[in-house]
Structure 1
Amino acid sequence: MEDVKKFKYFTVSPLAFGTWRIGGGYWYSSHDRDNEWVGAIRRAIELGLRVIDTAEMYGNGHAEELVGEAIKEFSREELFIVSKVWPSHADYDNVIKSAKNSSRRLGTYIDLYLLHAPSRVPICKTIRAFEKLVDDGVIRFFGLSNFDVDQIESARECVSKYEIVAIQNHYSLLSRSDERRALAYAEKNGLMYMAYTPLENGILARNEFLANIGKKYNKTATQVALNWYITGKNSLIPIVKASKIPHIEENAGAMGWRLSEEDWRAIDEHFREKSYFLDKFVSSLKSMRPWS
């Protein structure tokens, strides 16, 4: 089975490896586990997670440095590197500066560059900088993160030379409001939709319903949940983060097979009602996020 997802301009692995909390945290760096983190990224790539998601904010840029170190032994053409610019850097000059700094830390060009979240800066200024970065070869494509459909539409009105190719938002079996919104929009318009926190910080890994279905396939609850995403929407790429090799290997075990249509629909129906309550909670938190 060919385990890839094909889009208009690129083909990528069906799972992405996330680097949040690798190399530090919210604008601070940590170097005490560098060897472990580099090894984790390398193992993920070896197992087929060829999309690597990072950001300038992660570890104050140190996550990008660790990615840059980890990818040295791989063919660059086989990888798809995603990074993000922070909203307070969304004006033209700072977008250019941030992207070049991220590229320097990574030691390579950036395949996909995202605005991390909506900003007070007019979006057309950010898009203009993104297009300049494509022209200069610093990035290949650009997109948006934590944007709703109206904001995506406004951003698309700003493009003059290239297209917005990807959206990265929060989505999981327990938080499914984007199915009717940005995910549906991405599916309709051929955009890649990257889903962060698809396992809800381990909640789904401990889910008994998923574990019972997994017994039929000799798979864990984690693997069943991730396969549900892979098997479902054509545009959907879950981002999974792990720093322990056994967890990375477990995540990779979600690829290379498919849930039956019957089991996929059973999972869909089981979690549809449950997702409503978490969606309400998440919505209440969004206004508190320090995007700018």
Structure 2
Amino acid sequence: MKRACFRLVGCIPAVGLGTWGIGGGYWAPDRSRDAEWVDALRYAVERGISLIDTAEMYGGGHAEELVGLAIRGFPREELFLVSKVWPSHARYEDVLKSAERSAARLGTYIDLYLLHWPSDVPICETVRAFEALVDRGLIRFFGVSNFTLDQIKEAEACAKRYELAAVQNRYSLYYRRDEADVVPYALANGIMYMAYTPLEKGALARDRRLAEVGRRYGATATQIALAWYVKRGVVPIPKAEKRAHIDEIAGSLEVELREEDFLELARWSS
């Protein structure tokens, strides 16, 4: 499995798996497809996609429960688990309680814990809780999600004993707002940048320009897009529920984009 290396979190799988919609929707659990979802998650880990992103909000915690079931039996040190605390739980004590519940559902500690969205709670209070969680061994690293550069810098300034290790924002070949500031800042400072919605809910899989590049490599449009993110230095977390799609994601790590193709894609947008 190809890995991406960052100053703070070290080396992790270069592509992860998102779980939004697995186990239910917005705070609403759905247990009708549990066996199918657990099978998909286990298969992803077997294929080397051992970075799994989830959140307490996904299915009201049920996504975390499914991840916990799926990872049983795999060496824990080979996994990188990401979860997120909802902004309404951003108060110090609430962060601690949310992390405890998430870790209990996962059945293990959390590698990376993120504030899901900016909150009305002073960010320094949330960061103070994150640092306490690191001290307790409940999480290894912390970061933020859906933050602007100014908000990221504010969160960094709050950290006293540890550093902000990651940011997770929406980013794709179609949605490149963060290229102006957040992506360059993260890469320059060794911060892990995670890209959610990297395939734009399937739109990139149907992009003719990506398909054309793919023909040069014997790869699909999806694989070319994912290979582009990896070469860009960001960690995409596409969602997949079927083995065929997981195979396609894993196959993207075998694609080594030539510089001219990387630059060609860097120049266009939707």
Q: What interval of TM-score do these two structures reach, taking the shorter chain for normalisation?
A: over 0.9
Matched residues in 1 for 2:172 and 2:255: separation?
20
Task: Give me the CA root mean square deviation.
Answer: 0.9
Unaligned runs of 5+ in 2: none
Identity of aligned residues (%): 57
Matched residues in 2 for 1:34 and 1:147: separation?
32
1:242 counterpart residue number: 240
Deviates more, 1:126-135 or 1:261-270: 261-270
Does the 8 Å CA contact 2:223/2:255 hold for their aligned counterparts? Answer: no
1:260 counterpart residue number: 258
Deviation at 1:270, TM superposition (A): 2.7
2:90 counterpart residue number: 90
SS at match of 1:15: coil
Count of aligned pairs between the two proteins: 269
SS at match of 1:243: coil
TM-score (norm 1): 0.91
Return structure 1 stretches of 4+ with deviation > 4 angstroms: none
Pair 1:228-2:228 in alignment: yes
Deviation digits for residues 39-68 of structure 1 (CA, Å, limit 9, x no counterpart) = 111111111111100000001000000000
Unaligned runs of 5+ in 1: 275-292
Aligned partner letter, 2:245: H
Matched residues in 1 for 2:36 and 2:246: separation?
12
SS at match of 2:202: coil
Deviation digits for residues 19-58 of structure 1 (CA, Å, limit 9, x no counterpart) = 1000000000000100110011111111111110000000
Aligned partner letter, 1:5: A
Matched residues in 2 for 1:155 and 1:188: separation?
17
TM-score (norm 2): 0.98
After TM superposition, the structure 1 = structure 2 runs for residues 173-212 of structure 1, keeping only pairs within 5 Å, are 173-212=173-212
Matched residues in 2 for 1:248 and 1:122: separation?
39
After TM superposition, the structure 1 = structure 2 runs for residues 1-292 of structure 1, keeping only pairs within 5 Å, are 3-8=2-7, 9-233=9-233, 236-271=234-269, 274=270
SS at match of 2:120: coil
Matched residues in 2 for 1:232 and 1:182: separation?
13
Aligned partner letter, 2:59: G
Deviation at 1:16, TM superposition (A): 0.7
Matched residues in 1 for 2:230 and 2:153: separation?
26
